[in-house]
Amino acid sequence: MNTKPIIRVDVVSDIVCPWCYIGKRRLEKAIEDTQSSCNLQVIYHPFQLDPSVPTEGIPFSTHMESRFGPNYAQKFHQVEQAASSVDLDFDFENLPKAINTFAFHRILTISLHEGMQAEVKEALMKAYFVDRVDLTEQSAVAEVMAQFGWSTEKTLGILNSDEASDEVKEEMHYFRQQGISGVPFFIFDKKYAVSGAQPSEVFKEIFEKLAQEKQVAAISGDVCDVDGENC
CATH T-level assignment (fold) for domain 13-33+47-182: Glutaredoxin (3.40.30)
Distance CA 155, CA 125 (A): 17
Residue 28 has φ and ψ, to the nearest 5°, of: -65, -35
Task: Count Cβ neighbours within 10 Å for each residue of 51-78 and write b for 16 or more, e otherwise.
Answer: eebeeebbebbebbeeeeeeebeeebee
Per-residue pLDDT tens listing for the chain (231 residues): 457 889 999 999 999 999 999 999 999 999 999 887 788 999 999 999 999 999 999 999 999 999 888 888 888 999 999 999 999 999 999 999 999 999 999 999 999 999 999 999 999 999 999 999 999 999 999 999 999 999 999 999 999 999 999 999 999 999 999 999 999 999 999 999 999 999 999 999 999 999 999 877 666 555 555 555 554
> Domain residue spans in the chain?
13-33+47-182
Query: Which of 144, 111, 112 minimizes the C-alpha distance to 125?
Result: 144
**H or E stretch covering 190:** none
* Verdict on whether the full-model pTM lies above 0.75: yes
CA dist 119 → 43, 97, 101, 108, 210 (Å):
11, 23, 17, 10, 25
- DSSP 8-state assignment for residue 196: S
Coil/strand/helix, residue 193: strand
3-state secondary structure 13-50: ECCCCHHHHHHHHHHHHHHHHHCCCCEEEEEEEECCCC
DSSP 137: S
Q: For the purposes of burial, counting CB atoms within 10 Å of the CB of 105, is it exposed (0-12), middle (13-18) or buried (19 or more)?
A: buried
